[in-house]
Chains A and B, each alone.
Chain A
Amino acid sequence: MSAILLIAVPLLAAFISILFKKYAHYILVFVSFASVFALEYMDLGTITVGGFNAPFGIVLILDDYSLIALYIVNTLFFLVAILNCNEFKKVGSIMLVALAGLNGLLLTGDLFNLFVFLEVAGIAAYLITTTNKKPLATFNYLIQGTVGSSLYLLGLILLYAMFGTLNMADMASSIASSGYGAGVTAFPFLLMFIGFGVEAKLLPFNSWTKGILANSNRLTGPMIASVYAAAIGFVFGRLLTNVFVIEDTFLIIVTIILIFSVVAGEAMAYASTKVREILLYSSVAQAALVVVVFMSGFTGWAVYLIIGNAAAKLVLFLITNTATKQLGNDDVETFKGLFVNNKIIGLSFTAVTLSVIGLPMFLGFVTKMNILENMFVSGDYIWPAIILITSVVEGIYFIRLLLNLWYKENDLPEVKFEFVLKYVVVIIALLIMVFGVYTEPVQESADDLVAYSYIEGGNL
Chain B
Amino acid sequence: MKNFLAFIAVLVLGYMIVVSLDNNEAFPAYGEADVSSRVSQAFIDRTVTEDPGDIIFGQATNLESGPANIVTAIVADYRSFDTLGEVTVLFVSSLGVALLLGGKKQKRLELNFHPNFMLRVGSRALFGIILMTGVYIAIHGHLTPGGGFPGGAMIASSMLLLYLADDEFRAKIKGFKMLESFAGTAYVLIGLTGLLLGGYFLENLLDNGVIGDLFSAGIIPIVYVLIGLKVGSEISGIIDNFLTEEGV
- Selected contact of B188 from candidates A8, A52, A178, CB within 8 Å: A8
Query: By CB atoms of chain B within 10 A, which of A2, A164, A178 has the most?
Result: A164
What separation, in Å, do the CA atoms of A15 and B79 have in the docked complex? 21
Sort chain A's interface into a size bin: 35 or more
Nearest opposing residue in chain A for B65, CB measure: A52
A16-B85 in contact given A50-B202, A51-B200, A94-B92 (Cβ < 8 Å): no
What separation, in Å, do the CA atoms of A429 and B39 have in the docked complex? 49
Cβ of A18 and Cβ of B181 under 8 Å apart? yes
> A117 — which chain B residues lie within 8 A by C-beta?
85
- Selected contact of A12 from candidates B37, B188, B204, CB within 8 Å: B188
Q: How far is the CB of A45 from chain B (nearest CB, A)?
A: 13
> B85 — which chain A residues lie within 8 A by C-beta?
104, 113, 116-117, 119-120
Interface residues of A in 68-93 (CB under 8 A from B): 90-91, 93
A116-B202 in contact given A94-B96, A130-B100, A187-B21 (Cβ < 8 Å): no
> A53 — which chain B residues lie within 8 A by C-beta?
48-49
Nearest opposing residue in chain B for A116, CB measure: B85
Cβ of A124 and Cβ of B92 under 8 Å apart? yes
What separation, in Å, do the CA atoms of A91 and B178 have in the docked complex? 19
> A57 — which chain B residues lie within 8 A by C-beta?
48, 78-79
- Selected contact of B38 from candidates A14, A101, A165, CB within 8 Å: A165
Cβ of B49 and Cβ of A116 under 8 Å apart? no
Interface residues of B in 115-157 (CB under 8 A from A): none
Nearest opposing residue in chain B for A3, CB measure: B201
> B204 — which chain A residues lie within 8 A by C-beta?
50-51
Cβ of B191 and Cβ of A8 under 8 Å apart? yes
A166-B39 in contact given A18-B181, A50-B201 (Cβ < 8 Å): yes
What separation, in Å, do the CA atoms of A7 and B26 have in the docked complex? 35
Cβ of A52 and Cβ of B99 under 8 Å apart? no
Nearest opposing residue in chain B for A180, CB measure: B26
> B99 — which chain A residues lie within 8 A by C-beta?
90-91, 94, 127, 130
A49-B27 in contact given A97-B95, A164-B37 (Cβ < 8 Å): no
What separation, in Å, do the CA atoms of A50 and B74 have in the docked complex? 11
Which stretch (A155-163, A218-226, A285-293, A355-363) binds chain B? A155-163
B195 in the interface, Cβ–Cβ < 8 Å?
yes
A297 in the interface, Cβ–Cβ < 8 Å?
no
Query: By CB atoms of chain A within 10 A, which of B20, B25, B38, B78 has the most?
Result: B20
What separation, in Å, do the CA atoms of A93 and B184 have in the docked complex? 13
A15-B185 in contact given A4-B195, A164-B40, A187-B17 (Cβ < 8 Å): yes
B111 in the interface, Cβ–Cβ < 8 Å?
no
Cβ of B202 and Cβ of A15 under 8 Å apart? no
> B48 — which chain A residues lie within 8 A by C-beta?
52-53, 56-57
Size of the B side of the interface (Cβ < 8 Å), in residues, is: 57
Interface residues of B in 31-52 (CB under 8 A from A): 33, 35, 37-40, 42-43, 48-49
Interface residues of B in 177-197 (CB under 8 A from A): 177-178, 180-181, 184-185, 188-189, 191-192, 194-195
A185 in the interface, Cβ–Cβ < 8 Å?
yes
B84 in the interface, Cβ–Cβ < 8 Å?
yes
A177-197 to B contact mask, C-beta < 8 Å, 1/0? 010100111110010000000
What separation, in Å, do the CA atoms of A18 and B175 have in the docked complex? 12
B106 in the interface, Cβ–Cβ < 8 Å?
no
What separation, in Å, do the CA atoms of A334 and B6 have in the docked complex? 39
Cβ of A123 and Cβ of B177 under 8 Å apart? no
> A270 — which chain B residues lie within 8 A by C-beta?
none
What separation, in Å, do the CA atoms of A178 and B28 have in the docked complex? 14
B198 in the interface, Cβ–Cβ < 8 Å?
yes
A318 in the interface, Cβ–Cβ < 8 Å?
no
Cβ of B26 and Cβ of A16 under 8 Å apart? no
A187-B195 in contact given A50-B78, A113-B81 (Cβ < 8 Å): no
Q: How far is the CB of A167 from chain B (nearest CB, A)?
A: 8
What separation, in Å, do the CA atoms of A100 and B188 have in the docked complex? 12
B89 in the interface, Cβ–Cβ < 8 Å?
yes
Cβ of B178 and Cβ of A50 under 8 Å apart? no
- Selected contact of A15 from candidates B39, B89, B188, CB within 8 Å: B188
Q: How far is the CB of B149 from chain A (nearest CB, A)?
A: 14
Cβ of B195 and Cβ of A161 under 8 Å apart? no
What separation, in Å, do the CA atoms of A184 and B204 have in the docked complex? 39
B168 in the interface, Cβ–Cβ < 8 Å?
no
A112 in the interface, Cβ–Cβ < 8 Å?
yes
Interface residues of A in 102-160 (CB under 8 A from B): 104, 112-113, 116-117, 119-120, 123-124, 126-127, 130, 158
A56-B43 in contact given A18-B95, A123-B92 (Cβ < 8 Å): yes
Cβ of B185 and Cβ of A12 under 8 Å apart? yes
B215 in the interface, Cβ–Cβ < 8 Å?
no
Cβ of A187 and Cβ of B20 under 8 Å apart? yes
Q: How far is the CB of B26 from chain A (nearest CB, A)?
A: 4
What separation, in Å, do the CA atoms of A100 and B77 have in the docked complex? 21
Cβ of A49 and Cβ of B202 under 8 Å apart? yes
Nearest opposing residue in chain A for B183, CB measure: A15
B62 in the interface, Cβ–Cβ < 8 Å?
no
Cβ of B49 and Cβ of A162 under 8 Å apart? no
- Selected contact of B184 from candidates A15, A166, A178, CB within 8 Å: A15
Nearest opposing residue in chain B for A48, CB measure: B200
> B40 — which chain A residues lie within 8 A by C-beta?
164
A116-B181 in contact given A49-B201, A163-B26 (Cβ < 8 Å): no
Pull 28 A–B residue pairs with CB atoms less than 8 Å apart, ordered by A: A11-B184, A12-B188, A15-B181, A15-B184, A15-B185, A18-B177, A48-B200, A50-B78, A50-B79, A50-B81, A51-B203, A52-B64, A97-B91, A112-B79, A116-B85, A116-B89, A127-B92, A127-B95, A158-B21, A158-B27, A161-B33, A164-B38, A164-B39, A164-B40, A167-B39, A178-B26, A187-B17, A187-B20
Q: Which 4 A-B pairs have the closest CB atoms?
A: A164-B38, A15-B184, A187-B20, A116-B85
